[in-house]
A and B are shown apart, each in its own frame.
Chain A
Amino acid sequence: MSEHPHAISNEWLALYYDGELDAKRREQVEAHLSTCTACQRELAALKALSGALAVDRLAADTLTSRSARFAWRELELRLPERAVAASPLLKWLPGMGLLMANVMVQFIAVVGVAVMLVGGRLAWIAQPVAWLNDISFDWLLGWLTWLLPAQWSGWGLSLCLVILTAWLAVLYLAWLGYLWLDHRRPVAHLALAFSESSAC
């Protein structure tokens, strides 16, 4: 298309023709078109090109009139069954549960042991803070004592918590690994992903 030294460029005309201009610019183009024969010719050329291309347009009834092959039944048979995807909440629930359990056990281990030790020492110095020691054993670590031999000390409890934390961490990493394996696509999916990404 020929270039023309106007306020309205070819690009604007194409945008106008394709319905991509906002109302204000559309009005500007229309105002210009009403007086400019060169732009009128350009617009007519765009329309003529669309008209020429239209001879190769597939009619709306092409498929229904001719294409018995393109039946949904046939296509449906080619569709592989697909496992119902779990909801995002269910998908993340195990991992989040493991993570939160890990955080909670770490919290109990660190805070519980700290309170136990500090509270125990302070109890000799100042009676008013002795209740920290009770809280430590009764609420934070005490619940574990019935699981363990009676002779185990507070250090034994903390060791137990550290091992539990490590196991939870291992389980969490295993879950992440499972998730990664689950996301690896079969060959067909990889080919499709490549096909999608190579669109230009």
Chain B
Amino acid sequence: MTEIVLPGEHDNEREWIARAQVGDKAAYGQLVERYQHLIVSVAYHHGLDLAEAEDAAQETFVKAWLALSRYRESAGSLRAWLCRIAINTARDVHRRERPAQELDEHMPDSDHNPADQAEAQAKRWAVRRALDQLPAASRAALVLREYEGLSYAEIASALDIPQGTVMSRLNYARNRLRELLREAGEVG
């Protein structure tokens, strides 16, 4: 089972948000540091390579900075709010800049031999291709759940849909992904 971590509950995230909302860049820097991996990962799993995902993350944080004064905790967690902006930004970048490209060669693992790396690369290819074939809405729910560990409530907040819809989209995405990966020989 994926462990769900809820940042902001036991530290001074609220204070950082409050300070950033009135223009404190240093406080915003703390939030960026906390969520930059999450945001890059969300963008990356929406069809971008790592370099594009990093650019999309920067764009996301600039947009979030501009809109932060309108963020309210009652509308959902900050990370769900950031994910929402990141997903839209990644989709924009994907539409705007990305023709069909080779898979990014991120994270070369020097501890493994070339044969292992090639096998890992092939598996990654298969997963990315399968994710690409999912409908955007189902893919977003699946990515937020499987890769980022967001709860159903947070996914609902990030995608602005009811929790029941989150459940059905996840169910569909998992079923469809299993079919696609089975065809690719990646799951039994």
Contact = CB atoms under 8 A, between A and B. Distances in A.
Contacts of B85: 192, 195-196
Interface residues of A, number: 50
B33 to A, nearest CB: 7
Interface in B108-152: 120, 123-124, 127-128, 131, 136-137, 140, 145-147, 151-152
By secondary structure, the B interface counts as: helix
Contacts of A53: 127, 146-147, 177
A56 B22 contact: no
A52 to B, nearest CB: 5
Interface in A65-83: 66-67, 69-70, 72, 74-76, 78-83
Interface residues of B, number: 68
Nearest to B24: A84
A49 B25 CA distance: 40
6 contacts: A52-B181, A53-B127, A55-B127, A63-B54, A79-B61, A199-B158
Interface stretch (A16-24, A103-111, A170-178): A16-24
A110 B45 CA distance: 68
Given A11-B167, A188-B66, 18 more contacts: A48-B187, A49-B187, A55-B123, A58-B40, A66-B106, A67-B40, A69-B51, A72-B32, A75-B62, A78-B62, A80-B65, A84-B23, A192-B63, A193-B67, A195-B88, A196-B84, A196-B88, A200-B137
List the 7 closest pairs (A to B, CB-CB), nearest first.
A195-B88, A55-B123, A56-B127, A82-B23, A58-B41, A70-B54, A199-B84
A198 interface: yes
Contacts of A74: 58
A127 interface: no
| Residue among A17, A58, A66, A195 with the highest chain B CB neighbour number at 10 A | A58
Given A19-B2, A70-B58, A195 B146 contact: no
Nearest to A63: B37
Contacts of A188: 66
A62 interface: yes
A55 B25 CA distance: 35
B77 interface: no
A85 interface: yes
Interface in B135-184: 136-137, 140, 145-147, 151-152, 158-161, 167, 170-171, 174-175, 177-178, 181
A146 B41 CA distance: 74
B4 A55 contact: no
Nearest to A62: B107
A192 B25 contact: no
A83 B23 contact: yes
B115 to A, nearest CB: 15
Contacts of A52: 123, 127, 181, 186-187
A41 to B, nearest CB: 10
A57 interface: yes
